[in-house]
Amino acid sequence: MTFDSTATGAHVTTPSGRVITIPDGTELVFGRGPDADIVVSKLDRKVTVRPEMLDLDFTLFDGQEFLGWPEMTIQRGQVLARDGKLLAKEGQGRYIPAG
């Protein structure tokens, strides 16, 4: 299975955000509002998912190859993750109830 990050990024962020692909194959996904979140993805990067790379014991995606992978996540101007490393501090997120 190959994951098409361009189609999925556009699907996930539309209409609440915007996806921009720059010539080197990097995808920028923007949230909306004054504290918009940004995800920077390399569209040409192939990754075979393993639970340990996601800091999990199990994932349904174990062994599946994805084309396109996030390189950096920025929330409210703070880098939360870069190159597979979680940089967020405990309590940095905020709970938003469903519905």
Q: Tell me, yes or no, whether 12 lies in a domain.
A: yes
Share of the chain above pLDDT 90, in %: 25
CATH number at residue 33: 2.30.40.10
Q: Tell me, yes or no, whether 91 lies in a domain.
A: no
Prediction pTM value? 0.58
Burial level of 83, CB count in 10 A (0-12/13-18/19+)?
exposed
> Is the pLDDT assigned to residue 28 strictly greater than 80?
no
Residues in CB range of 88: below 8 A, 6 or more apart: 75, 78, 80, 81
pLDDT value of residue 11: 44
pLDDT value of residue 95: 79
> Is the pLDDT assigned to residue 91 strictly greater than 80?
yes
pLDDT value of residue 33: 61
Q: Tell me, yes or no, whether 92 lies in a domain.
A: no
User: Is residue 90 within 8 Å of residue 82, measured between CB atoms?
Assistant: no
Q: Tell me, yes or no, whether 61 lies in a domain.
A: yes
| Residue ranges making up the domain that contains 24 | 5-86
Q: Tell me, yes or no, whether 94 lies in a domain.
A: no
Domain count for the chain = 1
